[in-house]
Chains A and B, each alone.
Chain A
Amino acid sequence: MSSMKAIKKRITSVNNTKKIMKAMNLVSASKLQKAKTRLDHIRPLFDNLNVVMDTIKKGLDSDTELAFAQEREVKNIAYIVLSSDRGLCGGYNTNISKEALAFIDANHSKTDKQEKILAIGTKGWEYFKRRGKNIVFRNPGPSEATSFADAEVLGNKIAQMYTSGEADEVYIVYTHFQTILAHVPYIVKLLPIRTETSVPASNPVQMTYDPDAKSFMEHAVPMYLNISIYGAMMESAVCELASRMTSMDSATRNATDIIDDLTLEYNRKRQGIITQEITEIVTGANALQ
């Protein structure tokens, strides 16, 4: 018989775990608020930048040589995969790593193309390391405290990889935040930037450049990279926190259920023992008469 003492012990231990999960839930909730505000701030910049880039792409004549738009023979593809450093956030890391792996495997199944993974976040790094993938760069994962400078480091790194020929295409894999419960893995091609030369715009804007188109693009593209990466980092950070918040919330609820069950069992046992004792006394008293 699992003794009453053992049940009591289990109740205490589940209770302690519940407290921790409850605390994590609250911490993630407050961090989520902070991160969400930052995401709301970066989104307009990101949207405006996309509009600016679109106008440029439409107005650009195809003779302008752009360092970041050449479609060259693809030998090396770089993937930036954004995951988190810590677990206990539900399926967040598994989802994004699986999506990235499927995409990478599909790209490299029959060709001799070389994959280069930039693992941002320990969990993603472990995932690809275990599967023997070629990881060229590793950094801590995005969090609610990630600054624009962190994104700049990564942006400069891939710009340099692209110009030096180490990578002919660059993709970023991150989790897009829709609502607290809906997070969608996104795969976005960063480089080369797509120039829609094949589809001429109906009325292209006659854009002038100061000082000239080439220098402008050389300035605008790195900025576009940095901001795209920063945006993706913020999206991922918010998703991680939201995911942790909801999974800790359900874990707290599960713990409450377990405690209820155990308490019921404990009380039954206690009741059983009392009943047994009374029966024994009554039988004893009856025997004396």
Chain B
Amino acid sequence: MAVKKLRLRIATPESVKFDDDTDMVIMRCITGDMGILPNHQPISAILDFGVLRIITGELEKRMAVFGGIAQVVDNVVTILANDAQWPEDIDIAFVQSERARMERRSQEDLDDLEIQRDQVLMRRTLVQIEVSSYPILSRTEPEEP
């Protein structure tokens, strides 16, 4: 019998980012990480800013997701994100400079709205930096230092 697979669809207002079969999806929900394997019960969840891990065979791909909703029904995982980025689309130098700017701004005296906005941007850069550090991982051979 063929091994059951999950169908993963990731759509953002910009484009469809991913539409393929995979073995396991780990997504960052507002209540914590949630791992989805084939034959998962139907579930709808709210996504937080975080790293989405897509595990197919020996490979693990990572993606930065910035909020949205996810639904799992009949082995189809639908992720509708406000915004999502592959590591290769992230301009890491720009993100680092943005982050440094946010850190400098946090010393300044800002009003509540600006602080809120800065915090969102800050979380965004943190996720981007995290994703860029490990774009693709092989799960069989752990790297020996």
Contact = CB atoms under 8 A, between A and B. Distances in A.
B71 A52 contact: yes
B41 A210 contact: no
Interface stretch (A26-34, A39-47, A118-126, A247-255): A39-47
B13 A45 contact: yes
Nearest to A41: B15
A53 B30 CA distance: 20
B44 interface: yes
Interface stretch (A85-93, A176-184, A215-223, A274-282): A215-223
Contacts, number: 78
Contact of B73 (A45, A205, A219): A205
B16 A55 contact: no
B13 A42 contact: yes
Contact of B42 (A48, A51, A208, A230): A208
Interface range for A: 20 to 34
Contacts of A219: 46, 69
Interface residues of B, number: 24
Which of A48, A56, A209 has the most C-beta atoms of chain B within 10 angstroms of its own C-beta? A48
Contact of B80 (A49, A59, A230): A49
A232 B38 CA distance: 35
Nearest to A220: B69
B110 interface: no
Nearest to B30: A211
A210 B69 contact: no
- Top 7 closest pairs, chain A to chain B, by CB: A210-B45, A45-B11, A41-B15, A148-B13, A219-B46, A208-B43, A52-B71
